[in-house]
Amino acid sequence: MALRSIAPCQSAATTTPPIPPRRRPNAALVPVTSCIKMSSSMLGNKNEGSKLVLVWTESRQVMTAAVERGWRTFVFGSEPFSKELVQDWSSTALIHPLFVDGAKLLDEQGLNVGMFYGVSSPRELELIRPDDMEVDNLVINFQGEWQVIPAENIVAAFQGFNRTVLAVATTSTEAQVFLEALEQGLDGVVLKVEDTGEILKLKEYFDRRNEVSSRLALTKATITNVEVVGMGDRVCVDLCSVMRPGEGLLVGSFARGLFLVHSECLETNYIASRPFRINAGPVHAYLAVPGGKTCYLSELRAGKEVTVVDQSGLWRTAIVGRVKIESRPLVLVEAKENLGEETYSIFLQNAETVGLVCPSEAEGNNTSMVIPVTSLKVGDEILVRKQGGARHTGIEIREFILEK
C-alpha cells in the first residue's frame, strides 16, 4: 500500500502540498530539530557538520534495518492506517514518529514541529525564504525532473540562517545528491523507500563520510634497497579531485604494507604540476580503496573510488577520472619497518616526478615532504601503512599467507 499523503517526484500537473502563506510566528510551534536529532545520534548533530536522516516507509523490514543503524525517526501520512502502523512498530522498537498533514509536520501529540513543502516549479521554490519561516525546520519534496539545481539554490539561500532543511529522497543516490549540493549540502534527508537495500547503501555512504574524519596509522620504514629492474606496464591514476602537497595513494606489491606514493602536484622546471595525477606503480600492485579494502591497479576504472591519504594519515575518498597504462622503466624499492621485522616492496616508474612521502620530521624534506624515486637511497625514511596481508577479492581475511 503506497503512502497517500504525498508522492515524491510527481509531475508538475499533480496536486502538491500548498506553499503556506506567511503568518505571524506562533509560540506554540516546537522546532523539529530535537526530534530529528534523535534519529541521527550515531551521526552527531548539525553543529558538528553531520547530516540528519528520517525514514518514510510502510515496510517493517525497512523500519527494522533503519533502527538497527540508529535511525529511529520515521515519517508517516496522516491517515488512520499510519496511526496503526506506528502502534504496531512501537510495540517492537523505540521509534519517534512524525506525521505529514498537508503542509504541516506534526509530532505524536499533534504539535506543529515543522513545515512540509512540495516544489514542482521555480515559482514555488522562490516562495521558500529563510527569513519568512515561522518554524526553524522544513522538509522539501522536490517534484519533477529538476532536483540538483533547486537543492543548490536552497543551500545558497539558507546559508547563514539557523534553519534545518531536509529533502525527500526516494533512493540512496538521490539522498547523496541532496547531502552534497554545493559541497555543503542540505542538513539531511527524508529517505522514502520500501527497499532495505537503499537503507544499507545510505548507511555505507555515511560510513565513508565519517571515516574521512579519522586517521590511518602510518608507520616509518627505512629504505633497504633501490634497484633498476627494466620495463613494465605502469598505471597513472588521474582523479576527479585536486591533491595537495603531502597527499597520495597507498600502493604496494604486498597488501601487508602499502607505500604512500605522492601525487604530481609539485611544480618542477621541466614539467607542469598535475595535482590530479599519481604515477602509482605497475599493474600487479595493490591499492587501498574505501572500506579497508584493496584492489589491483589493473582493476581501476573511471568512476571507482580510491583512498587519498596525507602525511599525517588523514584520508578522504576521491573518484577516478581516467587510468593510463603505459610501458615504462621501473625501479624496485624495498623497505623495512623501523620498529619491527616486516619488509615491504614496491615497483615505481623510474622518473623524477614519482616519489614517496616521508615523515614530517625527515631532515631536508620539510618543504616538499616527498623523496623522488630517482634520489631515493638506502637509509632514507618513508611512510608505509601496515595491515593484514591475506586478501580475498580485496577483503582482509584471516589465513596463513607467505609472499615474497
pLDDT of residue 156: 86
Split at pLDDT 50, 70, 90, the class of 30 is very low
Q: Is the pLDDT of residue 11 over 90?
A: no
> How is 9-63 classified by DSSP, letter by letter?
T--TTS--PPPPPP----TT---SHHHHHHHTGGG--GGGT--EEEEE-S-HHHH
Question: What's the mean pLDDT in 331-340?
Answer: 90
Q: Which fold has domain 219-394?
A: Endonuclease - Pi-scei; Chain A, domain 1 (2.170.16)
Instruction: Using DSSP, state whether 172 is helix, strand or coil.
Output: helix
Alpha carbon distance 179, 192 (integer Å): 15
Residues of the chain with CATH 3.20.20.70: 33-212
Amino acid letter, residue 277: R
Query: Quick one: what percent of the chain has pLDDT higher than 70?
Result: 79
Give the pLDDT confidence of 288-307 residue by residue, as tens digits: 998 788 899 999 999 999 99
Structure confidence at residue 210 as a pLDDT band (50, 70, 90): low
Q: What is the pLDDT of residues 75-84, one digit of tens each?
A: 998 888 888 8
Mean of pLDDT over the chain: 80
Q: Which of 68-82, 123-137, 369-383 has the highest mean pLDDT?
A: 369-383
Is 382's pLDDT higher than 60?
yes
Which residues, at least 6 apart from 134, have a Cβ–Cβ distance to it below 8 Å?
Answer: 22, 23, 24, 25, 26, 29, 115
pLDDT of residue 25: 32
Burial class (CB in 10 A: 0-12, 13-18, 19+), 36: buried
- How does residue 169 score in pLDDT terms, banded at 50, 70 and 90? very high
The predicted-structure confidence for 84-104, as pLDDT tens digits, reads as follows 899 899 888 889 999 988 888
Residue 124 has pLDDT above 50, yes or no: yes
The DSSP letter of residue 244 is: P
Residue 35: is its pLDDT beyond 80? no
Residues 302-318: pLDDT tens digits?
999 999 999 988 888 89
Q: Which of 3-17, 140-154, 169-183, 317-331 has the highest mean pLDDT?
A: 317-331
Give φ, ψ of 234 to 5 degrees. -105, 160
Q: Which residue would you say has higher pLDDT here, 4 or 60?
A: 60
- Fold assignment, 33-212: TIM Barrel (3.20.20)
Domain with CATH 2.170.16 in the chain: 219-394
